[in-house]
Amino acid sequence: GTLGRGNHFVELQSDHDDRLWLMIHSGSRAMGQTITGHHLARSRPSATGLGFLEAATDEGAAYLSDQDWALQYAMQNRLVMARAVESILQTLFAASFDWSTLIHSHHNHVRRERHAAEQLWVHRKGALPASENEAGVIPGSMGTRSYHVEGRGVAAALRSSSHGAGRSRDRRHARQTISRCELRQQMQGVWFDQRQSDDLRDEAPAAYKDIGRVMRAQRKLTRITRELRPVLVYKGV
């Protein structure tokens, strides 16, 4: 149950009916990168300069098995953290989760899908699967709105959408241009550990694109089912 650094977070959010929601963003904790490096070293070069593995070979099957393992690891890792947060809320406030509302949403995976009457391997890197009525989560930034969504199944987009706001400034630029004071101003109304202000400048809301514009740009790909505002944000540094 480890969170990680960078844009990974544990966040308590409120909806329009003042219900409290938990959102966790964390992945396979470097295992995915290790798996990628291991299998890239065994890949074959192509005319594009990118390495590849044939899915029907032993090497391809090994990669797909390891990738599925990493996805399961990431899911279980998030569940451990969710149970830890639930335990804290039960102890302090006698509150518990409604686990029937759980949404799992991967945005880096390879999976077999049918598109335009063909069976294809679809690799989503920083993209959300958005088949018709498929539930998903699209975060903004640590100080802005996030969304629960359902996919619209748009074939031209390979039934996919953006998985978040995306950065408008890279980490180095953000640290050079955003001060601790500006971070605190941007985070007004949201609880976070202000002792970490200097380390969190590259995660300031101003370092990210306007999530409202992003959602409007992809309104044909997803429908919004719930809008959430941040109440408390925890990030590892």
Q: What's the DSSP call for residue 237?
A: -
Q: Say which residue the tokens 């990669």 belong to.
A: 63
Count Cα neighbours of 186 within 13 Å in the Cβ-side half-sphere.
Answer: 21
Tokens read off for 62 = 């090994």
Tokens read off for 85 = 């947060």
Q: Examine the residue annotation and report whether 163 is marked as an active-site residue of this protein.
A: yes
Cβ proximity of 190 and 123 under 8 Å: no
Tokens read off for 135 = 């539930």
**Catalytic site residue from 39, 107, 148, 163:** 163
Q: How far apart are the first and last CA of the chain?
A: 16
Return the exposure string of 108-119: e unless at least 16 CB atoms fall within 10 Å of the residue's CB, then b.
Answer: bbbeeeeeeeee
Q: How would you class 54 by CB atoms within 10 Å of its CB: exposed for 0-12, middle for 13-18, buried for 19 or more?
A: exposed
Q: In 3-state terms, what secondary structure has residue 94?
A: coil
Cβ proximity of 132 and 153 under 8 Å: yes
Residues noted as catalytic = 163
